Amino acid sequence: MNKIFLIVSVVFNALLLMHVFGIIPFLLYVSALLNVVLVWYIANNLKEMNSFEEDVDSLMGSMASFSDHIENVHGLEMYYGDETLKGLIDHSRIVVNNFVDFQEKYYDAEVRESSADEEGTYEEAPAPEDEE
């Protein structure tokens, strides 16, 4: 009900401005209203984008945790050398790398790359330093 009164008030004020002062103040009024609406729209989109980015980061952490868990199971004596687990580890690394590529492409995120040594363990590469 309040929205209806607000809309009627905005339209009525616009008509009064146009009738009393002419077309230029009316256009100024419409421009001010349009600017307020666009600022509100941009603020809402930024909130949604930040929420989406947090969800992607959470999903990325979950996938990395899953990959680490599989690597820990593969390291147990009972399962060491199992080809099925090795395939699962490789697949989880591919999925995690896809998420990293997604983050690099769509977000302003600095992703630290990791590299495998001969035993199959991973070390994080040093983060690149910012050049100024």
Q: Per residue in 93-118, pLDDT tens?
A: 888 888 788 778 777 666 565 554 44
Among 46-50, 73-77, 115-119, the range with the most confident prediction by mean pLDDT is: 46-50
Give the three-state DSSP class for 118: coil
Proportion of the chain above pLDDT 70, given as a percent? 80
Separation of alpha carbons 44 and 64, rounded Å? 30
Which has the higher per-residue pLDDT, 40 or 22? 40
Q: Other C-beta atoms within 10 Å of 55: how many?
A: 10
Q: What is the band of 42 on the pLDDT scale with cuts at 50, 70, 90? A: very high
Q: What is the band of 62 on the pLDDT scale with cuts at 50, 70, 90? A: confident
Alpha helices by DSSP H, 2-132: 2-21, 23-75, 83-106
Question: With 0-12 CB in 10 A as exposed, 13-18 as middle and 19+ as buried, what is 96?
Answer: middle
Proportion of the chain above pLDDT 90, given as a percent? 15
pLDDT at position 69 is: 82
Separation of alpha carbons 57 and 49, rounded Å? 12
Which has the higher per-residue pLDDT, 21 or 42? 42
pLDDT at position 4 is: 92
Separation of alpha carbons 70 and 72, rounded Å? 5
Dihedral of alpha carbons 9, 12, 17, 20, sign: negative
